Structure 1
Amino acid sequence: MHMSPSKTPQDLAVSAEALLFVEGGSMTRKKLGLRLSCNDKELAEALSVLSARLEGSGLTLIDTGNEVTLAVAKAASETVREVLEKELSREIGDAGLEVLAIVLYCGPSTRARIDYIRGVNTASTLRTLLARGLLEREGNPEDGREYLYKATAELLAHLGVANVNELPNYAETAAELARFEAASATDKDHETFG
């Protein structure tokens, strides 16, 4: 994968920033490089440009060597903390409840699966639920490029259950969601190949 002549480090930096923003969390360098269609050297140059461009702004680029993410810059962290505290004191809303229901009744789920079931992008809702400690994320053993979101012990405690099997109508709802996903996959296959 080589950068096309029109893709300068500045162009790649702009695209990297947008992808990291849309991702709503960290992204491996490998995944980011694939999305940008660039090699490791070109990615490093683009990330260097992005990091320099973000200096003095409200954002910073965190680069662990393996993963990169956009984060709040230290200079803005107090303001953001105050706003988040107010935000977290509010109700989670219908979107949050829907995401929690999917994760509780379907089990650990990728963001793509949650987005698909809901029919909308859930990045900001997932961030809120993670910040509140209601969900946690871990690497997906089947695909290292994405995360699985799962219920925390704190969420189960809030719901007054020891495990998901104690949720109301758990077996029926989980089975119905599985049927929905299977039917949707079949419909998608028919659209693609039929």
Structure 2
Amino acid sequence: MTDQGLGPDQIDELARRAQAGDRDALETLLAAVRPRALNVCRGVLPHLPDAEDACQDALINVAAKIGSWNGRGRFTTWLHVVAMNSARSTYRRMKRQATPHDPTEHAAIERPDPRTTSVIAGTRLDLLEAMETIERDHPQFVEPLLLRDVYGLSYEEIARQVGAPLGTVKAQIHHGRKLARPLLRGGE
């Protein structure tokens, strides 16, 4: 996948130049990776305006924290994590701001839309709730699990991104899945 016609090596080079303080490179980089960041955010937040808010936060974080990209893996892998974390933060913020539902109302139960349904959960909300629960007691499992099962990154890419040995990452994903199964769709 290319970003605005730029290949992975060109994206990495722009990121290195941006780290070195090149403002033009940073602006070009942000414009080039915005579609990718938006796609990651839409993976968590299917409502486009919410995903766009999360994407904007992700790009602000990229600009502010580009120095924390260590250059060992692809910049786009690091971007994936930043965007995913921004989307999850947006979801948490929206959840806190939500008004309580009136239990006396009997709204029709809607079936999940297959275009917005997670592969490993009944809905994206099921998945986000499960990740929130797991994160409270086992935060080390959440990021590798989401990167593998939601975003489809390879085990090797995840290991580079989180800075852990490949075997550790595989074990974290395995244990994360074991913790997630009973939380998804009521343990069915």
TM-score (norm 2): 0.32
Structure with the higher helix share, 1 or 2: 2
Higher share of residues assigned strand: 1
| Higher relative contact order, chain-length normalized (CA < 8 Å, sep 6+) | 2
